[in-house]
Amino acid sequence: MGGEADWGTVFEALKNVYRRRLLVELFERNPQEDRVIVPEDVHAGEKELSALQTEFVHTHLPLLEQAGYVTWDRESHEVTRGPQFDEIRPLLELIDDHRDELPSGWT
């Protein structure tokens, strides 16, 4: 992360399970297919999809967009990697590589 990362911003982004799922989903995507439809692509059934959509629109996406980790198209609900995505990439790789070792509900 090159010493440039604001660790408070990084950990705030990773603090919520839905933000982690979204960021890991973007990390796993092929660069030619890097768009994620939010929240459909990260919904795992814990909440109603409409409630999760509201959370993403009002909380999760603004936070991630402000940090530069995502770019958000409000019309299509598509999210792509933002200009600062590489700042958080090493942690996403760790999360992805050790998914089976993380506590239940963490990803």
Nearest to 59 by CA among 39, 29, 85, 82: 39
pLDDT of residue 98: 81
Say how many C-beta atoms besides its own lie within 10 A of residue 55's C-beta: 16
> Residue 31: its pLDDT value, please?
64
Query: What pLDDT shows up at residue 107?
Result: 64
Structural domains in the chain, sorted by start: 7-100 (1.10.10.10)
20 close to 106: Cβ distance less than 8 angstroms = yes
Q: How far apart are CA 25 and CA 38, in angstroms?
A: 11
pTM of the model: 0.81
Interval 72-103: pLDDT, tens: 998 888 899 999 999 999 999 998 888 788 76
Place of tokens 């959370």: 55
Question: Residue 50 has what pLDDT?
Answer: 81
Q: Which stretches of the chain score pLDDT less than 50? A: 1-3
> What angle, rounded to 10 degrees, do the helices at 17-28 and 85-97 form?
100
